[in-house]
Structure 1
Amino acid sequence: MQNNTRVCFNRYLSEVATANRLDKVTGEAFNYSPVAQQSFYEMVSDKADFLKRLNQITVSSQLGQKIGLGVSRPIASRTNTDEAERQTRYVGELDGDSYHCQQTNYDTHQKYSLMDSWAHLEDFSTIYASQIARQVARDRLMIGWHGESAAAETDIVANPLLQDVNEGWIAKVRKKQPHRFMGYGSDGNPTADTYKVGEGSGYGSLDALVFDMTTNLLDAWHQDTDDLVVMVGREIWVAHGMALLANSTLPTERNALSTWFASKTVAGLPCIMPPFLPSRAVIVTSYDNLSIYHQAGTLRRTIIDNPKRDRVEEYLSENEAYVVEDFGKFAGVRNGAILLPDGAGGWA
């Protein structure tokens, strides 16, 4: 590490110590202070716009019942009080579901040579911290969409999308209420069912598929809420746009194409392509129905300057859980169950 890099790095360590109410950072593990913890969450969310829209909730216990934030159901009623007492109704989800915050390690290192290239920049501290925050954001999205289990020993080669780090949102619904997903059986295992989306098929358009999902998979009181969003994978996004483009010579189709690219709506709902969502998945839910729970006091960090390897090593960990607040407000189609036109008159 060059001398000017050392000055910048020591200044950064001093900033970290101050933020966490430490005398200095010594290479030993420390817990984030509540203020520093919140700043870290905000920095991570800034690296992925989709994360900003979700719930980031701090919980006190490692195990517990999910909070049900944003969940709502009808409560209006009338009772003949001459015959019976009025009864309250719970606005949360009736089918209770527990969460389990699993320790997740985000361990990284920065080579001296890379840090030397930042030393002349005034925002050295921001650049250094952003390197970690950016990958934490990416990892959380991968886990949320692809996570299947929390293995005692993870294998990045066998599970490159972090399938074994934690149980994500899709896995939660598939295992707890598989009837919310097209393409899964009652046991939560994939079926051989496929759904053709395109001209001349059972679903002539993505709009038809989404309308069917909304009508038949969501609880009745969620079907017309104003916060639903259609989330699609990359292949579905491209196929829908290309289908509109292919027929854009017709005035009505030109209007449809214009509407799609201007407002990106499907079946009257906003449509987005979240990072790392499986390429042929389609999900209808709301942003506030997806949460990441963080157990208070478990965000820990160790910073070690290791000259033996010419690098600075970071050991960061936290107990986290991925939660769907209301299964009745989540509808999906299994990735791989949707067939699209192959351009040769068939489906693939």
Structure 2
Amino acid sequence: MQSNTRLCFNRYLAEVATANRLDKATGEAFNYSPEAQQSFYKMVGEKADFLKRINQITVTAQLGQKIGLGVSRPIASRTNTDESERQTRYVGELDGDTYHCQQTNYDTHLKYSLMDSWAHLDDFGTIYASQIAKQVARDRLMIGWRGENAAAETDVTTNTLLQDVNEGWTTKVRKKQPHRFMGYGSDGNPTEDTYTVGDGSKYGTLDALVFDMTVNLLDAWHQEADDLVVMVGREIWVAHGLALLANTSLPTERNALQTWFASKTVAGLPCIMPPYLPSRAVIVTSYDNLSIYHQTGTLRRTIIDNPKRDRVEEYLSENEAYVVEDFGKFAGVRHGAILLPDGAGGWA
């Protein structure tokens, strides 16, 4: 580490120590202060727009009942009070579900040579912290969409998309209420059912598929909610755009194409392509139906300056859980169950 880099790094360490009410910030593990914890969440959110839109919830217990934030159902009623008393109604999900915050390690290191390239910049500390926050954001998106289980010993070589770090949102729905997912049986295991999307198929357009999902998989009181969003994987996104483009000779399709590229809507709902969502997945839900729970007091960090390896090592961990607040406001199609035109008159 060059002399100027050392000065910048030491100033950054002093800032970290002050923010967390510490004498020093190297060599020993420390818990983030509440203020520093919120700043860290904000920095991670800035690295991924999707994380800013969903819920980031702090909970005290490692294991407990999910909060049900954003969940609602009809409450309007009338009672003949001459005959009986008025009764309140719970607006949350009636079927209880537990969350379990699992320890997740975000351990990394930064080479001296990389840090040397930042030393001439005024915002050295911000750049340094951003490198950590950026990968945490990416990993959380991967776990949320790809996570299948929480293994005692993870293997990134086999599970390259962090499938074994924690149970993600789609896994939670598949295990708890598989009838919300096309392509899974009542036991939560994949079926051989396939769904063709394209001209001349069961679902002539992506709009038709999304409409069917909304009507048949969502609870009735959520089907016309004004905050629903269609989330699609990359192949679905591209195929839908190409299908509209191929039929632009028709006035109706020209209008559809203009609508798609202008507002990105499907079946009248906003359509997005979240990072790391499987390429042929389709999901209908709302942003506030997806949450990441963070257990209070478990955000821990250790910074070690390791000259033996010419690097600074960062050990960061937190207990986290990925939660779907209301299964009745979640509809999906299993990745791999959708078939698209193969260009030769068939489906693949």
* Normalised TM-score (structure 2): 0.99
Distance in 2 (alpha carbons) for counterparts of 1:298 and 1:211: 42
Who is 1:202 aligned against?
Answer: 202
Q: Secondary structure at the match of 1:154?
A: coil
Distance in 2 (alpha carbons) for counterparts of 1:108 and 1:123: 21
Who is 2:90 aligned against?
Answer: 90
- Do the aligned partners of 2:26 and 2:305 also contact (CA within 8 Å) in 1? no
Who is 1:171 aligned against?
Answer: 171
Residues 101-143 of structure 1, C-alpha deviation per residue, up to 9 Å, x if partnerless? 0000000000011111111111111111111100000000000
What is the total number of aligned residue pairs between the two structures?
348
Who is 1:124 aligned against?
Answer: 124
1:180-329 equivalences in 2 (<5 Å): 180-329=180-329
Specify the code of the residue in structure 1 equivalent to 2:11. R
Who is 1:21 aligned against?
Answer: 21
Distance in 1 (alpha carbons) for counterparts of 2:236 and 2:226: 23
Distance in 2 (alpha carbons) for counterparts of 1:255 and 1:150: 46
Q: Secondary structure at the match of 2:6?
A: helix
Residues 61-112 of structure 1, C-alpha deviation per residue, up to 9 Å, x if partnerless? 0010000000000011111222221111000000010000000000000001
Moved over 6 A (4+): none
Distance in 2 (alpha carbons) for counterparts of 1:50 and 1:36: 22
Who is 1:340 aligned against?
Answer: 340
Distance in 1 (alpha carbons) for counterparts of 2:134 and 2:47: 5
Pairwise CA distance, 1:54: 0.4
Who is 2:152 aligned against?
Answer: 152
Deviates further, 251-260 or 4-13: 251-260
Aligned-residue sequence identity (percent) comes to 89
Who is 1:100 aligned against?
Answer: 100
Is 1:79 the counterpart of 2:75? The answer is no
Distance in 2 (alpha carbons) for counterparts of 1:248 and 1:260: 12
Specify the code of the residue in structure 2 equivalent to 1:275. P
Aligned-pair RMSD on alpha carbons? 0.5
Q: Secondary structure at the match of 2:129?
A: helix
Who is 1:114 aligned against?
Answer: 114
Pairwise CA distance, 1:250: 1.7
Residues 173-201 of structure 1, C-alpha deviation per residue, up to 9 Å, x if partnerless? 00000000000000000000000000000
Who is 1:62 aligned against?
Answer: 62
Q: Secondary structure at the match of 1:175?
A: helix
Q: Which runs of 5+ in 2 are unaligned?
A: none
